[in-house]
Amino acid sequence: MTDSLPAAVPTGAGGKYDDEIDRLFSAGGPLAPAVGSFSPRTSQTEMAKAIASAIADQSTLIAEAGTGTGKTFAYLVPALLWGGKTIVSTGTKNLQDQLFLRDIPTVRAALKAPVSVALLKGRSNYVCHYHLERTLNNGRMTSREDVGYLREIQRFVKMSNSGDKAELAKVPETASVWNLVTSTRDNCMGQECQYYQDCFVMKARREAQQADVVVVNHHLFFADVALKDTGVAELLPAANTIIFDEAHQLPDTATLFFGQTVSTSQILELCRDVLAEGLAHARGGPDWAKTVTVVEKAARDLRLSVPQDSVRMSLAQIPPSSDFFPALKTLKDELDGMTAVLEANAERAETLEQCRVRAVELAAALAGWKPDGKGKLVEGDEAVLWVEAYASSLQLHKTPLSIAPIFTNQREGTPRSWIFASATLAVKNDFKHFAAQLGLENETAKTWPSPFNYQDQGLLYVPTGLPEPNSYGYTDAVLDCALPVIEAAGGRCFLLCTTIRAVKHAAERLRDEFEKRGLNFPLFVQGERGRTELLDSFRNAGNAVLIGSQSFWEGVDVRGEALSLVIIDKLPFAPPDDPVLAARIDVMEKKGMNGFMHHQLPEAIINLKQGAGRLIRDEQDRGVLMICDPRIISKPYGRRIWQSLPPFKRTRDQAEVVAFFQQRFKPE
């Protein structure tokens, strides 16, 4: 265990729980029979003691626990016994469901803890009775498939207690029909709605109000802090303990929500609703079709003013001669015109008044787009203005360059304990980067090592002779090195790439190579199917190769021989032309700091640790982590990178890797 910031773990009142935690986590304790594979782990027990101590003292703890520590039980046991009203926030909805459906019930039953638990998701996860009825009446389905999905949703609403779309497996989560039968903060009728008493969102919030433990996710938590619209706002004043699992994701998530985003899609959705409500409640009034058509055209023209797809640019990168600036002015003017029409008719119906409020809010957000010459806004805290283009929409972002002051402000007030837990928060046992991003500089931070024997269980292989990662043909050079190792491993491989382009190229090349060489390894590629389906197929195949980018670097758990080789093509540095990153580095360098060493490198190391963490998932796993980027050896900062990784035995010899797999998979 390592003290990585000056503060010491508080020993005060928390120490009184130490003996009880020793008993609960012992071989003869209540957890052992409840969990078939449970065995006492010193790191888990010590982490639980530190969390109990932070709960007792209403203090903050940054807790890094190596893979296999069992951090979920380490925070759940003290939270369920002594945490009072507890909010547990996870990285994803999948983890949220896992906690609510599996982990918390297991611990609660083992401890016989008399606590009530609720699951709270964002409103887009719950069917809205009003919008379902409106969609059924309008009949505006674009495909026969959507008509079938709508019937399934109609049946589901009559039987479901929660209205949570995750419970309706027959309709894919990505189906476009969900947008028509769920509400947004903008179009929710609130207490004016005829279905208010039956509303699934309100029911979920009421249950969360009354529960002892509430499971949310980071997006929900921070959307609430920023928008006051998720129900967490009502929970926070009563909460004694806040636990963030997968806390390494918090800086990015918080940045997303403490900023401001306006999209052409939002404006088109507003136009759709204005037309529907205008025709329903004020048909004899203005020409509603004409009113919305000019705004729709202006929104589409703004999207077309950025000719590229999938591009991010700061305003400073948009040429002054671009159509963007006049298109933005036209959209503001046309939106003001529609707002005036809504103001004249708002008293005819509550829904028209709602549309007016939405129009005013969107206009206010667009009005904030008065950049200085460098495309930056300074409003107390520095922010950067930038645009992001998608196939059919354009998003305008205003992003704070530091969320630390905002998040610190949110944590002030009622004393409570804040726990930040993850397998990857430190860089070589140094928490400064993570702590500074959230304004946690003077808080206690500790790390507990993994119980795994990495020296015996794994090999870190950095091949020789690879070119620099920005070289032409780099991905092919990686694949040339990787193919003999994939063959030696019998498939059983994740190939983790830093770009979607590399994923596509690697997929084409490996399909071709497997056919040429007669290698019967199933190939699964991110984007060709949903993540869960790809993972299930990968596990079931037993000899597959899965190629993925960012979404497979973390939150993925494949145990056993099915995953015995993880190949990482490049160190995961963020693109240097990313507008927010560029602005952050600019600010750091004006303060005399080194943007690369103080921001880009720590970020890359934390991401790399996540990717490396896919390999060894339990005491029986054995495998090879192959990092192809030569900079880990050739650059002075490389030492800092590999010292932050698990302490695998290291090699640069391909023959040693092949021998490792021959030994691993030799017939009994």
pLDDT, tens digit, 9 for 90 and up, residues 509-541: 999 999 999 999 999 999 888 788 899 999 999
Confidence of residue 380 (pLDDT cuts 50, 70, 90): very low
Q: Which of 400-409, 499-508, 542-551 has the lowest mean pLDDT?
A: 400-409
Whether the pLDDT of residue 47 is over 60: the answer is yes
The residue count for the chain: 668
Residue ranges in 552-653 assigned as alpha helix (H): 579-590, 595, 601-612, 631-634, 638-644
pLDDT value of residue 314: 84
Query: What fold, for 259-399?
Result: Four Helix Bundle (Hemerythrin (Met), subunit A) (1.20.120)
Distance CA 610, CA 249 (A): 11
Angle between helix 71-82 and 104-111 (nearest 10)? 50
Q: Which neighbouring-strand residues pair with 117?
A: 213
Confidence of residue 207 (pLDDT cuts 50, 70, 90): very high
Confidence of residue 586 (pLDDT cuts 50, 70, 90): confident
pLDDT > 90 fraction of the chain, expressed in percent and rounded? 61
Q: Which of 137-141, 282-286, 347-351, 479-483 has the lowest mean pLDDT?
A: 137-141
Three-class SS state of 63: strand
Three-class SS state of 185: coil
Query: What fold, for 2-119+203-257+402-448?
Result: Rossmann fold (3.40.50)
Distance CA 411, CA 390 (A): 35
pLDDT value of residue 667: 61
If you average pLDDT over every residue of the chain, what do you get? 88
Confidence of residue 436 (pLDDT cuts 50, 70, 90): very high
Most confident of 28-42, 44-58, 576-590: 44-58
Q: Which helix (H) or strand (E) holds 233?
A: helix 232-235
551 vs 547: which has the higher pLDDT: 547
Question: Span 117-140, mean pLDDT?
Answer: 88
Amino acid at 128: C
Whether the pLDDT of residue 399 is over 70: the answer is yes
pLDDT value of residue 232: 62
CB-CB contact of 266 with 96 (8 Å): no
Confidence of residue 227 (pLDDT cuts 50, 70, 90): low
CATH fold match for the domains 259-399 and 454-664: no
211 vs 318: which has the higher pLDDT: 211
Confidence of residue 12 (pLDDT cuts 50, 70, 90): very low
What the block records as the tokens of 356 is 């007016």
pLDDT value of residue 11: 37
Whether the pLDDT of residue 381 is over 60: the answer is no
Amino acid at 336: D
Model pLDDT for residues 628-668, shown as the tens digit of each residue? 999 999 999 999 998 999 999 999 999 999 999 988 877 65
CATH 3.20.20.140, domain 454-664, yes or no? no
pLDDT value of residue 9: 33
Please report, for the chain, the start and end positions of each structural domain, with discontinuous segments joined by +: 2-119+203-257+402-448, 123-202, 259-399, 454-664
Question: Span 538-565, mean pLDDT?
Answer: 91
pLDDT value of residue 596: 92
242 φ/ψ angles, rounded to the nearest 5 degrees: -115, 125
pLDDT value of residue 38: 78
Distance of CA 66 to the CA centre of its chain: 20
225 vs 269: which has the higher pLDDT: 269
pLDDT > 70 fraction of the chain, expressed in percent and rounded? 94
What the block records as the tokens of 446 is 């500790």
